[in-house]
Amino acid sequence: MVVMILDRVPVSLRGELTRWLIEVKPGVYVGHVNAMVRDKLWGYCLEKSRMGTVFQAWTTNNEQRFAMRLWGDQSRRVTDWEGVALIEEVKDKLKPAQKRRVRRD
């Protein structure tokens, strides 16, 4: 299974993804494709997304049972923490309201 989330991307790109995946909510796509198609969709989205954000998660054989990657959003990044993939909010890139929500000492 593959999940893709696109934010602030051209409408044409969103339309292209509906050829391969089901759009369950605006910008959220779900489907089942092989690894080659998954990687080609990722590359195509990066090429066409302009200044938008692209997130992709897919099932795989690891402890979490999925893997993920993120491109475009500078305030978040995928971080490996002792073998567990997490989404980390980069405090330097957050807006003031977001900084109040994140506590790091």
How does pLDDT run across 79-95, given as a tens digit for each residue? 998 889 999 887 776 66
Is 51 in the same domain as 79?
Answer: no
Q: What is the pLDDT of residues 32-71, one digit of tens each?
A: 999 999 999 999 999 999 889 999 999 999 999 999 999 9
pLDDT band at 73 (very low <50, low <70, confident <90, very high): confident
Is 12 in the same domain as 48?
Answer: yes
Q: What are phi and psi of 47, to 5 degrees?
A: -65, -40
Is 80 in the same domain as 33?
Answer: no
pLDDT band at 104 (very low <50, low <70, confident <90, very high): low
Q: Which residues pair with 84 in a beta bridge?
A: 81
Is 61 in the same domain as 15?
Answer: yes
Q: Is 11 helix (H, G, I), strand (E, B) or coil?
A: helix
d(CA 75, CA 90): 5
Is 6 in the same domain as 37?
Answer: yes
Supply the range of the domain harboring residue 101.
Answer: 74-105
The model carries a pTM of 0.82
> What residue type is 16 in one-letter code?
E
